[in-house]
Amino acid sequence: MNPKYNPLFDTFTLPSGVTLKNRITMAPMTNFASHENGEVSDQELAYYRERSGGVGAVITACVYVTPDGKGFVNEFGADKDEMIPSLRRLADTIHGEGAKAILQIYHGGRLCPPDQIPDGQPISASAVAEEKEGAPVPREMTSDDIHRVIRAYGEATRRAIEAGYDGVELHGANGYLVQQFFSPHSNIRTDEWGGSLEKRMAFPLAIVHEVKKVIAAHAKQPFIFGYRLSPEEGHTPGITLDDTMVLVDRLADEGLDYLHISVNHFFGGSFRDRSDERSRTVLIHEKVGNRVPIIGVGSLNTPDEALAALETGVPLVSLGRPLLMEPQWVQKVQNGTEDTIRTTLSKQAQQELVIPDYLWGALTTVPGWLPVTD
């Protein structure tokens, strides 16, 4: 291995006491490969097996915590105890390749396709549709709905513990339900769950407290708890970086293992204010990184780019699209063959890359997702 990449392979011990073998994690990416009943498929297990050998931890695709939270076709579930054997199969597969397994727990809220949820009616903080043509208007959640979903995040965490995962990541990013409560666009409530910035944080923090309570009650060994967030929203009203700085300051008091900052480019600036070119991830690290570890992600395609991210002080990086194109990314850096890392997606390489059929169709037909070659 080129010695300059040594920092990528330093171990890192999270606040919970769990030690990662290196500084690289696999980012959560939906793969559209589970069975219709929410169980993990063999094709999905093969996809994860191929990508779990080098990274320190795999953060799985999101699992829905309630049936009305399913946001994708062929998404896998953690909404009932019958799913524990399915969840265990995936945890065992990841562990079998030497990585820690972190289950991302999720509710899609107003972004759930009506044809994927039981009664066809998405729910959210308020009856405000996504800014997208044809988007359904969600039903505003009642107090009973809110408490039901909070408990469901805790129950999904218990199932993750029983299935042998090393941790969970709360999906508070990318416009899904947790973010919908935090956003002034989607949350126009006037009760204790919305209105002021403080009240818009109530739902995310209530889930954090529920998950922590479940971990304390059920985990028999150190258990990772991370939180993924998007630092800004492009529309107005929408989440600003100032809003996010208040949230991360509160989250840093919660004893979390990490904050995972969901952006398209680690070094990219604001998309609300194009004149502000400062990295959102670095700014958050400067604000709270001495209290909670930060995972940086976004367009870290090469080992040099990943190394540059670590050199900002952010202790962990996450790879998504690079591991789709090159499942052996980490191993190739480690054995000194980084010059053979694939940086494009060949339309002939599905079997070699072990990518499930539905995901392969999306990767090769959706413009701009990956650089595709014939």
In terms of phi and psi (left: phi > 0; alpha: psi -120 to 50; beta: otherwise), the region of 28 is beta
Residues 47, 165, 176, 227: which is the catalytic one?
176
DSSP conformation letters of 250-290:
HHTTTT-SEEEE--S-TT---SS-TT--S-HHHHHHHHHTT
Q: How many beta carbons lie within 10 A of that of residue 37, not counting itself? A: 10
Q: How many residues does the chain have?
A: 374
Of 59, 112, 63, 116, nearest to 318 by C-alpha is 59
DSSP state of 120: S
In terms of phi and psi (left: phi > 0; alpha: psi -120 to 50; beta: otherwise), the region of 129 is beta
Please work out, in degrees rounded to the nearest 5, the angle formed at the alpha carbon of residue 103 by the alpha carbons of 33 and 311: 110
Counting other chains too, the contacts that 246-253 makes at CB distance below 8 Å and 24 or more residues apart are 246/197, 246/201, 247/182, 247/201, 247/204, 248/284, 248/287, 248/288, 248/292, 249/287, 249/288, 250/201, 250/205, 251/208, 251/227, 251/288, 251/292, 252/288, 252/291, 252/292, 253/291
Dihedral of CA atoms 28, 33, 39, 40 in degrees, nearest 10, equals -70
Locate 84 and state its tokens.
Answer: 């524990």
Of 79, 78, 21, 80, nearest to 54 by C-alpha is 21
- In the residue annotation, 47 being an active-site residue is answered as no
State the burial class of residue 264 (Cβ atoms within 10 Å of its Cβ: 0-12, 13-18, 19+).
exposed
Of 248, 251, 140, 232, nearest to 186 by C-alpha is 140
> Taking the mean position of all CA atoms in its chain, how far away is CA 270?
20
Provide the annotated active-site residues: 176
